[in-house]
């Protein structure tokens, strides 16, 4: 089965295409170039990225943007609207304030505390961003700067799998945000493990999916110490600081990888009780939460997507 692995957007990527046609393998080989191009547009860590240029022009009026930045920003604002501001792209000042001011690979695990003031909430900031569809232009209010990290990976997985699926069933794993399209040969689903955050070599469930997306958001890996306190990269916009949550990782299945990413992040920020209740109101999502105490919470409909030990036939009571 043709597949390709590469490093992009600060994560390990993996693309699989179930076709051996020469055109298909040629398209698969182009996937790393797609991601590299998207990273040049969407990365907040690159000074020369289009996103960084847009952030520098906050308060300067309308800025025409590329189709890629337009699409991802549209997806990010849609996520903010649907999560009532819990997953918003306007958290960049809060991320930098928490010490996450460079790529995680370059970030020391002990960050010096140089904060200049109290954290600022960012829940409603996204509503101040203006979008002009006709001119494909964006206007950021002063002091608002954007981070598209999670949603960009989900969007990239969805977009790549859509392109690959022209040639056959495909799966794209963008650092844990996974998009699937089409059943595998023989009509079988794609088996996808949900990693156990406390035993990384083991998995908690085996999903069997034929389409849509799955994503995991967590504070188990991307964390550092700052001012004697442990920080992580999931910002709660309600107070502008790393989310104070009992959830260690949240995994969500949804119709697309970007929706799954938004669902997982929302559930993690809300915490186990409110997160489970919120997921129950999302008919197109199923999820699994792992708390810091090792408790595993599954939404009732998760079982429909999981592999089960089959019952033994032929035993008549």
Partner 1 sequence: MAQQKIPSRTPAQPLKFVISVTAVAATLGGWALLASRHSPAGAAQTAEAVPNAVSAAPAWLLEPPVIPTVQPLVISDGQRPAPGTAGSAQVPGALYQRGTPAVVRRPAPIVVTRSSR
Cβ closest to partner 1, residue 106 vs residue 313: 313
**Residue with token string 């992009």:** 8
Cβ closest to partner 1, residue 134 vs residue 308: 308
Cβ closest to partner 1, residue 94 vs residue 194: 194
List, in order, residues 6 or more apart from 100 with CB less than 8 Å away. 107, 222, 224, 231, 233
Nearest in space to 86 (alpha carbons), one of 120, 124, 140: 124
Q: Please report, as ranges, the residues that interact with partner 1 according to CB under 8 A.
A: 10-12, 14, 16, 104, 150, 153, 171, 173, 175-178, 188, 190-195, 197, 200, 203, 206-208, 214-222, 249, 251, 307, 309-310, 312-314
Nearest in space to 213 (alpha carbons), one of 297, 157, 169: 157
Backbone angles phi, psi at 196, to 5 degrees: -85, 115
| Closest distance to partner 1 from the beta carbon of 249 (Å) | 5
Say if residues 223 and 231 touch (Cβ distance below 8 Å).
yes
| Closest distance to partner 1 from the beta carbon of 260 (Å) | 9
List, in order, residues 6 or more apart from 57 with CB less than 8 Å away. 63, 140
Report residue 299 as tokens: 């939404």
Cβ closest to partner 1, residue 51 vs residue 250: 250
| Closest distance to partner 1 from the beta carbon of 250 (Å) | 9
Report residue 53 as tokens: 């240029």
Cβ closest to partner 1, residue 10 vs residue 182: 10
| Closest distance to partner 1 from the beta carbon of 82 (Å) | 21
Measured in whole angstroms, the distance separating CA 206 from the mean position of its chain's CA atoms is 20
| Closest distance to partner 1 from the beta carbon of 291 (Å) | 14
């Amino acid at each position: 089965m043709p597949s390709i692995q590469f490093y992009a957007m600060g994560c390990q990527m993996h693309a699989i295409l179930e076709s051996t046609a020469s055109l298909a393998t040629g398209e698969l080989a182009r996937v790393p170039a797609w991601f590299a191009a998207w990273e040049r547009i969407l990365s907040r860590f690159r000074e020369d990225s289009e996103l960084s240029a847009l952030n520098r022009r906050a308060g300067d009026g309308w800025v025409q943007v590329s189709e890629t930045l337009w699409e991802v920003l549209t997806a990010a604002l849609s996520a903010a609207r649907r999560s009532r501001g819990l997953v918003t792209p306007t958290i960049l000042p809060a991320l930098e304030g928490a010490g996450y001011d460079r790529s995680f690979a370059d970030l020391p695990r002990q960050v010096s505390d140089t904060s200049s003031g109290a954290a600022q909430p960012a829940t409603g900031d996204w509503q101040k961003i203006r979008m002009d569809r006709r001119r494909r232009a964006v206007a950021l209010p002063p002091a608002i700067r954007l981070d598209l990290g999670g949603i960009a990976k989900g969007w990239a997985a969805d977009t790549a799998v859509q392109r690959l699926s022209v040639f056959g069933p495909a799966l794209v794993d963008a650092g844990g945000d996974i998009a699937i399209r089409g059943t595998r040969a023989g009509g079988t689903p794609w088996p996808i493990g949900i990693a156990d955050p406390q035993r990384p070599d083991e998995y908690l469930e085996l999903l069997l999916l034929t389409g849509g997306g799955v994503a995991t958001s967590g504070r188990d890996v991307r964390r550092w110490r700052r001012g004697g306190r442990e920080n992580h990269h999931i910002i709660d916009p309600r107070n502008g600081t790393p989310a104070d949550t009992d959830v260690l990782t949240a995994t969500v299945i949804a119709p697309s990888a970007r929706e799954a990413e938004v669902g997982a992040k929302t559930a993690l920020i809300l915490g186990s009780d409110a997160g489970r209740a919120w997921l129950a109101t999302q008919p197109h999502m199923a999820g699994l939460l792992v708390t810091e105490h090792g408790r595993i919470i599954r939404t009732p409909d998760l079982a429909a997507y999981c592999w089960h030990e089959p019952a033994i036939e032929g035993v008549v009571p």
